Structure 1
């Protein structure tokens, strides 16, 4: 279950990070200004639709961080492919680590609509 008061702190952190007012934030994610006000004041809890709109509009927001504070904001991990077809995992606090295709068991891509595709090398 989501702790509403901590959720509102994290939502406010997102708004502050992007220098958004409640009105501009509401407009960007496609909700009424009053929805933001009610969530920030603790009157209402965020709906799944609200959370998904935030994630869609602000890709640097991680779902688990927004819901329960686990993870980081803004996102710190990126995965890039090098010309020699080895994957490299980059993080703010770690160096690049090459991964060979023989080390990869499965790649799963999750889409924002809740679907996914699974690939085996």
Structure 2
């Protein structure tokens, strides 16, 4: 549970760091000025949407620090450094001469080719269910993907 009094103090610390007033803070986040006033006074608790708007408008404020006071503000240099990992082998993109036909280009990445369905499923009922599921997912479009990291940070990729 978020301590609203401590949360209000952390908001004041962000405003002091960025040299903005409560109204400037609200304007930068795109929220009403009264919502800032109510949270600072302890009258209201912050919503998830409100917290996310703070982290989007003020990237130096880490989520765990904002909610629980854990971590540092502003973000330390160590949290901004990329994590060293072993290099991944990325397959090369085939040239136009390597692509056998255009039907393969038009195939949905998430659909299963017909021979694989028949090899994996022996019962006709299961086959029909599999085709219904594939059809349902084929009509949906991805709007955004969110990656949550263990250090409390996240990345949003929008379509």
> TM exceeds 0.5?
yes
Total equivalences in the alignment: 91
- Which 5+ residue runs of structure 1 have no aligned equivalent? 82-86, 88-99, 103-108, 116-121
| Residues 33-82 of structure 1, C-alpha deviations (whole Å, 9 max, x = no match) | 0000000011111110000000001111100000000011000122248x
> Is the radius of gyration larger for structure 1 or structure 2?
2
Q: CA separation in 1, counterparts of 2:52 and 2:15? A: 16
Query: What is the match of residue 19 of structure 1?
Result: 19
Give the structure with the higher percent helix. Answer: 2
Q: Please tell me the root mean square deviation across aligned C-alpha atoms, in Å.
A: 2.0
Q: CA separation in 2, counterparts of 1:9 and 1:31? A: 19
| Residues 21-43 of structure 1, C-alpha deviations (whole Å, 9 max, x = no match) | 01111000000000000000111
TM-score normalised over the length of structure 2: 0.53
Query: What is the match of residue 9 of structure 2?
Result: 9
CA contact (8 A) 1:56 1:112 kept: no
TM-score normalised over the length of structure 1: 0.68
Matches within 5 A, 1:87-98: 87=84
Regions of 4+ moved over 4 Å? none
Matched, 1:73 2:58: no
Aligned-residue offset at 1:112: 4.4
- Which 5+ residue runs of structure 2 have no aligned equivalent? 88-146, 149-153
Query: What is the match of residue 101 of structure 1?
Result: 86
